[in-house]
Structure 1
Amino acid sequence: MSNLALYLLGAPRIELDGTVVVIGRRKAVALAAYLAVTGERHSRTALARLFWPESDPPHALAALRLALLTLKEAIGEEWLEIERTSLALCRTPDYWSDVTHFRHLLIGCEAHTHSPDSVCPNCLALLTNAVLIYRDDFMAGFTLRDSSAFDDWQSFQCQDLQRRLDYALEKLSLGYGARGELHHAVPFAQRWLNRDPLNESAHRLLMRLYTWNKQREAALRQYQRCREALEQELGRFPEEETDQLYHAIIEDRLPPLDGLSSSFSFRPLLSHNLPSQSTPFLGRERELAKLLALLRDPACRLLTLVGVGGAGKTRLALQAAADVAIQDAEAFVDGIRFVSLASLTSPDLLGSAIARSLGPSFHGQVDVEAQILDYLEDRRMLLVLDNFEHLLSSPISSSRLERGAKAAGLIARILGSAPQVKMMVTSREPLDLQGEWLFEVTGLKCPPADRTEALEQYDAIRLFLQSARRVQPDFRVLEDEAPFVVRICRFLDGLPLGIELAAAWLQMFTCQEIAQRIEQGLCFLDTSLRDVPERHRSLRAVFDHSWDLLSDEEKDVCRCLSVFRGGFRGEAAAEQVAGASLPTLLSLIRKSFLHLDPDGRYAMPEVLRRYVEGKLDQHPQQKALARERHCEYYAEFLHQRHGDIEGRNQRQALEEIRKELENVRVGWEWAVKQVNMEAIDKAIGSLCHLYEMHGWFQEGEELLTRAWEALSESMQAMNDPPTRDLLILARVIDWRGWLCYLLSRFEQARDLLETSYAMFCRLDEQEARALSLKNLGNVTTSLGEYAAARKLFQKSVSISKRADDQVGIGWGFDGLGYIAEAMGEYARARRLYQRCLGIWKELGNPEGITWSLMGLGSVAEASGEQNEAKDLFDDCMAHCTKSDNQQGIGWCLDGLSRLAEGSGNYEEAKRLAGRGLAIFQEIGDRSGIAIGFRNLGFASLALGDYREARDAFQRAIDMAQDVKAIPVLVDTLVGVADLLAAEGEAEQAVELLAFLLRHPATTARYKKRAQRLHTALSSRLSPQAFRPAEARGEARTLESFTPIP
């Protein structure tokens, strides 16, 4: 199961496996927050009333279903316990919420048995962690304008959490003050006061703390601030107690600090030898919390932190131990001892190293191990052993098995004879002892590749900034540098060592230059700092050491595994590509070259993969063989999912391919480079469907262009290319033509599709011919040539019927339905779309169902059936969202925008048009972009914003002209005519309308609108003005109406 984290103290943020989840609907965010904070199961009816109080029950429940669908798509269905009448958030060990954690920390403090007027070291630790978690007030900046009940609930939660924070800050101020740690007490007291500048108790405490810290003037200034605030805000003077304290400070009569501490009970902190750190620890809150929970678990006595070199195992272990020293003093009353093993050359030296850390009471006349066992027998201690892999890899012993037995043997004997001793070990591989608990340490959390805002919420970015400011104190991430900082952290997989080494170069290079240099080679990441251990002065040195720990077989497999991108799923992939057995994979996991995700996916950190890939480059024959096997594996992987993509399992198949997209791209590129026709043939269908469904038109077209160039060049060198190769080339051309169509490059699309159609005819490929004709029909429709398009679709259906190709018949009917709709034949269009829907449902084809619902919704909207159209568009939107069909979502928003505008909801129409436009811009659908601007123009015109309407219409016209989308262009001009009429240019409007009413590409929907305006203007103008204007318009050309007069 994935890890879900809700951050609600501050602006709401939801993370899934460390990645921020973007949820487009505010009420879906509010629903997640409500379920998380209440921690209860709620009835659907109650939730619908809470979030949609102004809607009737059926519409409120429908809105709840849509919000729930949005939430499911964002965080995964497994995180929601959904029943027919109720729902709840699933709370497992993989779930975490800052609000819940904040409250639990305070409850833990309140549960202590000492007087509530006292604090103990554990209290201070719990309270400190609590106030650090409290970034800002509950859901700061978030409101629901139309749900007063939710706002009331949010306000209550906010006030409750604020009270708890004030309690914690007061306790911390008093507690640290009583201990004499004024440098800690003052900041907490200041934060307490800043929350309520009229709080005299906070003012008085600060006055005392300043005085005890020998800052008498600051104490007196604090009194003046208190007096001024009270006079300005409340019109009164300070309380008598405050005045008395002021005079006591002036007259040096303030009781000494021990007067405060007399009411507090403290126990000395645990003794330890943990090395001090020159830089502050940051981030990893969840990892620390899990580590502390494991150290508290009586069953966990040997806890090994495993991870690749440079992942921060040592630093995390030290921080966990330091937290234990404060929070769990009772568990380890005899202290914590840190044992560094980095310098040891033999497992025989382990006992001596432990003995040295325990103290000077050991002497040489008695066996050291016996002394250690005797010393620890009755003690309650935590031993932290750092860099244990050095003992597992010592070159002095004859074999790894012998080395491991020697190194781990003493650990096992200590645990056996000292039942109250625990050990926390850092190592690049496990110790392989019974009872060992493993804790994997990976890189710090990084932002998504395209994220450039709010970067400091990611631990990797925060570490980069902290490290950067050590060489440039005023360093901050400028807008143009943000992508390169993200690149650096992502390339380094969040490895703290790599990030610190990279940031150190800011004294010489920009962020862009650092990103480019580390991607060129790891040698760049070196440092000469004297306080950095030799083994950590270069990332390459860290990896070299880990590489030396591998056997020859492991190195051989590991080199081949470096051809995978973004990891791989299943042992079969590793076996086919790298000849890897399961034991070898497990060994590479143990040695931190691979890690296995909970969903069964193997992955190698990218920076480490680049290092291993460099090793593979030194073996050209092995590299070529691994790349070929990798290519063949993923070609077969795509081929096996082609049937599912057009059937009931489409969503699962596309999701499986999407997860392997990096591998699929690399495999395709190798197939094209080597002109591996069989691999290209297997891969092309599924791959192009993926690019089509997700709206990645530009990348897909570029990918196919490179394939077309390579295949064409290869076949030109042949006298008589095999039929199979010609067929594969035709498929490449056909798919390229279709993607050009989706990019609104209609003329180029028509040329390519005509070429592929001719090739399919020569090769007598009937189903492929029908598909090409259908594609040509779509292109011809977009160019406004409806009669020609209808013939192409009819011919496509005829061929498909002869071949009994139901998919071809379905797409042909879909095209004919659109032609009928465009020409105003709504009854016929509805019948055709319904026939399509029947075919798609029988085949279980989600994509076909989506477009049939879209067509039926559009027909209902054009026919004035508003409610039916809304239901159909909503149903279609749900299908598109479920399959991540970005183009489909854009077209749904187009229909919903037209529907809202037609029903007089102009603001909503404008909002929906803007959302659709944004999607079309993102996927590069230029015809869709023109439609988005057209819809914005109509909505702005209805709202009376003529300037914005003119701008939107002109942009729609420019884009439609550029791509030759004639129907979009002429339909937009209907809006221009309406604008001209509204601005008082009635005769110009009549000229334009006369032209549009006769133009064959004007769709029936907009022709009806033009006719209504034409009739209205005929009544407004005199016949002497109206008829000449009509005649002038009928004689003009389309180009003469652009730009807008």
Structure 2
Amino acid sequence: MLQLTLCGAFQATRGSQELAELRTNRLRAIIGYLALESGRAHERSHLASLFWPDSPEDQAMGALRQSLHRIGRILGGDDASGATPLLISRTTVQLDPRQINVDVLEIERRLHLCDAHQHRSIAGCSACAVRLHDAVTLYRGELLAGTYHDGSDLFEAWLRERRERLARQVCDALRALATHRLRRRAYAEAARSARAWLQLEPWQECAHRLLIEALARDGQRSAALRQIDRCHKVLHDELGATPEEATVTLAAHVRRGTLVSADALPLPAAREDAVVGRAADIAWLHSQLANPAHRWITIVGPGGVGKTALVQHIAGHMASSFAEGVRFVALDDVADLADAAFAIGRALGQQFSGDDVPADALPGAIAHRDVLLVLDGVDRLAPYAAWFARLIEAQTGPTLILTSRRRFGSRAELVLMLGGLATPAPDAPPEASCDAVELFLARAMALQPMRDWHAERAAIQRICRAVDGSPLGIGLAVSQARAVHCQDLADVIERRLQLLGGTEQALPERHHRLLAVFDEIWQGMAPPQRAVLQALSLFSGEFSWPAATVLAAEVLGEPDVEAAVLRTLTELADQALVYTQPNQRYRMHALLRQSVAAMLEADVERANWLRAAHQRWFLGMLDAVRLGVVNRRARRYAATLADAFADIRSAWEWAVAVGDGVALDHAASPLVVMASCIGRYRDGASMMHAAATALMARAGDDQPARRRCMRLLLGAAELYRAGGALSQMSESVVLARALAAPDDSSDVLLPLLVAEGTVAYALGQRAEAVQLLTAAHARCDASTDPAIVAQVEHQLGITLMFLGDLEASGHCMAAALAWYRQRDDTISVLQCLTVLAQLPARRGDLRAALPLLEDVLVVARELDDPRSLAVSLVNVGSARAVLGFDDLTTVHQLEESLAIVQQLGDQVSLTGVLHAAAYGFIHLGRYPIAEHLLVRALRVVDSQRTTPVLLELLEGVGVFGAHTARHHQAAVLLALVVAHPTTTEFVRQRAARVLHALQVPAADDDIAAAAEAGARLDPLEARRRLLIDGGPRLAAW
């Protein structure tokens, strides 16, 4: 067999002997051409014109004949028979593909096998990863490196096309291989593949990203940061481009140390016996998930049939097929679409707030995420089938596996109907085997391996038939069979099944069968076990041992209640009544929890005791943040409460239902802090607003009760403001004003005046805002609460800064800063420092402001609050850009701020960062990215409906137009900003300066006319015109 190596230096060998006589370029070119085109015979005349294009035909044919003779002699010289792989006829020439082995063809063969293989993505396929590795290993350099034929343009064109095609194929293979290794956490190998790709295409941004991520995940943060800088330099030097958004986001995560591995979110462990009897179902699921066209699978079956166990098994085996692995979200307690969207978003790292409704925002936010979303227990969300379809409507994005008791009926949905395991026929012999019996035996022998379970097979068959092959029913029965003979257990279950069938007709038959088993377990439970189980039924989803202990203490009389609860939890887990989760928490099966909860409701007194204990525990969890300040400690603690939010809301609603205004008032301030820290502004605000509304109906003329309602409404207003929901904020403040009494103290009225001033300013009512905040300031001497005084100074200082009274603003902010530092309210300290740093900039001394802004950035990094860090970064980056610091540090700061703020749900911060970053990129001369950011900001501000913010954005668009020779449009927008009554003084002055600079002699008349038109234009109309095309660029008009 003749071995031809065409990648890199040409080499021809037969066995171990190199055919060194093939030294000339032309001979190597002829052999290379014939080898790569060996699938067909070639006309001699074609070869002659290809390799000797400038020679007369007879000379070219003679030269070809001599070359073929020499090649034939060399290639066939060692064969005793004289046979040669060169097949020659009077008119054609061909290399026999059966007698040659060509590295390039072998590469292409292996890549073709990958293309033909059925998989969701080549990067997630282990079988193809082996082929890819073999293919790229064979690529040792450029095709026919060093081989050329100056006299033939046709040959050179053919060779160039083949080189480019092969290089492209190898680069694609390296990309898939690096991605596969990254998903498999083989980071060193992934880095090698990415480097090999960069050797071929140093400008490929995706290759840089893969290398950066591999280095960072491998613990080589410094090397990853150097690679980020190298990427920036290559893009700038080679292409004159800035990094893509994906690169910006990745770089920000590397710098902040927040790059999370897919395996950092553990999946609930699947039972080893979950696959018993499910081989065909597993094979079907694997085949459907391997097809990228199938992105929604619903596993439908009754409760207890094993849907969750099956999907956990599949998720564990399919994780590497998706770029972001698997996210498992339990939704069996969720009926509200907003809660479902929030839970899914949280699993994916998304945050929401204010008018940014999770259900509306999530589909677009995750449209690019290659992740397997396992949504367990979505029965109550079936009416929202259209919304689930929106999650997968983009060509790329997440793949869904849902478990439900009913199908959704969407055309995009594939359905796997899951029934119970196969059970033996009533007349089957005891030795007959079936899936249900095998599962029973597997679990039973795991519990009591020395017992002769096979001797009881006939009774086991009866039990399996009684529970209709339900894995949950089998598990419950096994737990009971440990203490009784299976024959006796089968008799009891069948009797109870007959009883339930006559009294519980509203339940599905399969639930009758499960409840028959559970009823037997319940009857055999000791009173303490029953009491603990009833207490656990109040939890919304997962729960901890300490929480269970608090609730169980209400119904247990034992002195060492902690040990008793832990012992009982262990016993319940042994009986499959609760499940242990990977995060040291517990969970009950939804069907069993519903059954126990129904029993508890029959005992009203016990239910009330337990609900009161549930309320005390979960509202008491907020005490650690009761001081109402946001600092590093508060943020970390609030993050631990995120998983308990459903129970906190349930406890809050119970307090509302029983009218416990004192408890709600006590928990209100901590709830504001918690909701702010975890991004649940809308939920926290609606909880507080609803509580105030309910308590107002009972308050009457009771002034303490009315003041509690006022504080709840002002807390709701604060959360609405943070989330950008200014209309809801205004509504809450108006209701709070209606509760105020003429004789209320300054401590009661000051927060109300601050809230009213904040609303007025946000809505562009500047004179009213100053009046309200000044009135509040005048009352400060009568206040006994320095925290409220600090809030007044803070808000008044911000308002005065925007109105141009910089000296008075500085005094107010300094006073507030002193108090915030005393309370360790780090967020407020940062906000005050930011304003103080901006004062020199507003005086026109940006160079003096920069060191102050950089100090603020240091504090923000220490706090590790994403919102504050994003604002601090963009303030420093934009200031550096305006001052002419066109370097990687400036670009990195702007990019990192954008990457951070896009993960938040705070629309106010998002708008501000987008605008400030755009301003920075304008001064760096990077106009495409600036335009993109301005368009995004204009779209976001529509949801806020705040004229001052919109006017500031229009000023930014005007500055962009002035820098990009769109002078007419710039003049219209800047004149609008200058003329509008709600424009802040600082923005008005900045716009006026740019407008004045546009008055160049050649355009005087045009600019003047544009300015006149702009002064009459409505801001919302200007915004509509700028976005009229609906694309990523600003419309020209």
Q: TM-score, normalised by structure 2?
A: 0.50
> Cα gap change, 1:801/1:1021 in structure 2, threshold over 3 Å: closer, same or farther?
farther
What are the equivalent positions in structure 2 for 1:19-418 lying under 5 Å apart?
Answer: 33-35=217-219, 70-71=256-257, 279=279
Match of 2:622? 638
**Quick check: 2:305–2:420 contact (8 Å CA) kept in 1?**
no
> Cα gap change, 1:653/1:1006 in structure 2, threshold over 3 Å: closer, same or farther?
same
Q: Give how far 1:834 is off.
A: 4.1
- Give the Cα–Cα distance (whole angstroms) in 2 for the partners of residues 823 and 528 of structure 1: 77
- Give the Cα–Cα distance (whole angstroms) in 2 for the partners of residues 846 and 14 of structure 1: 38
Match of 1:582? 562
SS at match of 2:1000: helix
- Whichever residue aligns with residue 527 of structure 2, its letter is D
- Give the Cα–Cα distance (whole angstroms) in 2 for the partners of residues 528 and 784 of structure 1: 70
Match of 1:750? 730
- Give the Cα–Cα distance (whole angstroms) in 1 for the partners of residues 588 and 985 of structure 2: 57
- Give the Cα–Cα distance (whole angstroms) in 2 for the partners of residues 986 and 609 of structure 1: 68
- Give the Cα–Cα distance (whole angstroms) in 1 for the partners of residues 1012 and 565 of structure 2: 80
Q: Deviations over 1:700-725 (max 9, x none)?
A: 2332343244334445xxxx453332
**Quick check: 2:367–2:392 contact (8 Å CA) kept in 1?**
no
Match of 2:801? 821
Q: Give how far 1:840 is off.
A: 1.6
**Quick check: 1:568–1:660 contact (8 Å CA) kept in 2?**
no
Q: Give how far 1:854 is off.
A: 3.4
Question: Aligned to 2:420, which of 519, 526, 533?
Answer: 526
Match of 1:568? 544
Match of 2:191? none
Match of 2:830? 850
Match of 2:857? 874
Match of 1:559? 534
- Give the Cα–Cα distance (whole angstroms) in 1 for the partners of residues 827 and 984 of structure 2: 25
Q: How many residues align?
A: 632
**1:864 aligned onto 2:846:** yes
- Give the Cα–Cα distance (whole angstroms) in 1 for the partners of residues 722 and 711 of structure 2: 17
SS at match of 2:846: coil
Question: Aligned to 1:972, which of 935, 953, 964?
Answer: 953
> Cα gap change, 1:703/1:905 in structure 2, threshold over 3 Å: closer, same or farther?
farther
Q: Deviations over 1:238-282 (max 9, x none)?
A: xxxxxxxxxxxxxxxxxxxxxxxxxxxxxxxxxxxxx99984999
- Whichever residue aligns with residue 635 of structure 1, its letter is L
- Give the Cα–Cα distance (whole angstroms) in 2 for the partners of residues 790 and 1009 of structure 1: 22
Match of 2:673? 689
- Whichever residue aligns with residue 998 of structure 2, its letter is L
**1:764 aligned onto 2:744:** yes
- Whichever residue aligns with residue 532 of structure 2, its letter is V
The worse-fitting range, judged by mean Cα deviation, of 601-610 and 633-642 is 601-610
**1:779 aligned onto 2:754:** no
SS at match of 1:878: helix
- Whichever residue aligns with residue 533 of structure 1, its letter is A
- Give the Cα–Cα distance (whole angstroms) in 1 for the partners of residues 880 and 897 of structure 2: 14
> Cα gap change, 1:859/1:456 in structure 2, threshold over 3 Å: closer, same or farther?
closer
**Quick check: 1:780–1:788 contact (8 Å CA) kept in 2?**
yes
What are the equivalent positions in structure 2 for 1:10-25 lying under 5 Å apart?
Answer: 10-11=181-182
Q: Give how far 1:621 is off.
A: 4.8
- Give the Cα–Cα distance (whole angstroms) in 2 for the partners of residues 987 and 908 of structure 1: 34
- Give the Cα–Cα distance (whole angstroms) in 2 for the partners of residues 586 and 867 of structure 1: 57
Q: Deviations over 1:924-965 (max 9, x none)?
A: 544445445545654676687878866764664465465342
SS at match of 2:565: helix
> Cα gap change, 1:282/1:589 in structure 2, threshold over 3 Å: closer, same or farther?
farther
Q: Give how far 1:554 is off.
A: 0.3
- Give the Cα–Cα distance (whole angstroms) in 1 for the partners of residues 621 and 857 of structure 2: 34
- Give the Cα–Cα distance (whole angstroms) in 1 for the partners of residues 412 and 375 of structure 2: 12
**Quick check: 1:873–1:896 contact (8 Å CA) kept in 2?**
no
Q: Give how far 1:698 is off.
A: 2.0
- Give the Cα–Cα distance (whole angstroms) in 2 for the partners of residues 1037 and 447 of structure 1: 37
SS at match of 1:11: helix
> Cα gap change, 1:1035/1:643 in structure 2, threshold over 3 Å: closer, same or farther?
closer
- Structure 1 unmatched ranges of 5 or more: 1-6, 16-23, 37-43, 56-62, 77-93, 98-274, 284-307, 318-445, 465-476, 492-501, 518-523
**1:728 aligned onto 2:674:** no
**1:711 aligned onto 2:687:** no
Match of 2:971? 990
Q: Give how far 1:665 is off.
A: 1.3
> Cα gap change, 1:585/1:671 in structure 2, threshold over 3 Å: closer, same or farther?
same
- Whichever residue aligns with residue 846 of structure 2, its letter is G
- Whichever residue aligns with residue 568 of structure 1, its letter is S
Q: Deviations over 1:65-104 (max 9, x none)?
A: 997883379699xxxxxxxxxxxxxxxxx9999xxxxxxx
- Give the Cα–Cα distance (whole angstroms) in 2 for the partners of residues 506 and 1029 of structure 1: 59
> Cα gap change, 1:775/1:905 in structure 2, threshold over 3 Å: closer, same or farther?
farther
Match of 1:700? 684
RMSD: 5.6
**Quick check: 1:648–1:843 contact (8 Å CA) kept in 2?**
no
Q: Deviations over 1:347-385 (max 9, x none)?
A: xxxxxxxxxxxxxxxxxxxxxxxxxxxxxxxxxxxxxxx
- Give the Cα–Cα distance (whole angstroms) in 2 for the partners of residues 648 and 478 of structure 1: 37
What are the equivalent positions in structure 2 for 1:433-452 lying under 5 Å apart?
Answer: 449-450=347-348
- Whichever residue aligns with residue 11 of structure 1, its letter is L
SS at match of 2:435: coil
> Cα gap change, 1:846/1:457 in structure 2, threshold over 3 Å: closer, same or farther?
same
Q: Give how far 1:642 is off.
A: 0.7
**Quick check: 2:915–2:937 contact (8 Å CA) kept in 1?**
yes
> Cα gap change, 1:867/1:31 in structure 2, threshold over 3 Å: closer, same or farther?
farther
**Quick check: 1:796–1:808 contact (8 Å CA) kept in 2?**
no
SS at match of 2:999: helix
Q: Deviations over 1:502-533 (max 9, x none)?
A: 8xx99999997989x9xxxxxx9634465322
- Whichever residue aligns with residue 680 of structure 2, its letter is W
> Cα gap change, 1:924/1:278 in structure 2, threshold over 3 Å: closer, same or farther?
closer
Q: Give how far 1:895 is off.
A: 2.8
Q: Give how far 1:453 is off.
A: 9.3
- Whichever residue aligns with residue 718 of structure 2, its letter is W
- Whichever residue aligns with residue 618 of structure 2, its letter is Y
> Cα gap change, 1:455/1:632 in structure 2, threshold over 3 Å: closer, same or farther?
same
Q: Give how far 1:544 is off.
A: 4.1
SS at match of 1:891: helix
- Give the Cα–Cα distance (whole angstroms) in 1 for the partners of residues 936 and 230 of structure 2: 40
> Cα gap change, 1:988/1:577 in structure 2, threshold over 3 Å: closer, same or farther?
same
Match of 1:243? none
What are the equivalent positions in structure 2 for 1:580-659 lying under 5 Å apart?
Answer: 581-591=561-571, 592=573, 593=577, 604=588, 609-610=593-594, 612-613=596-597, 615-616=599-600, 619=603, 621-639=605-623, 641-643=625-627, 645=629, 649-659=633-643
Q: TM-score, normalised by structure 1?
A: 0.50
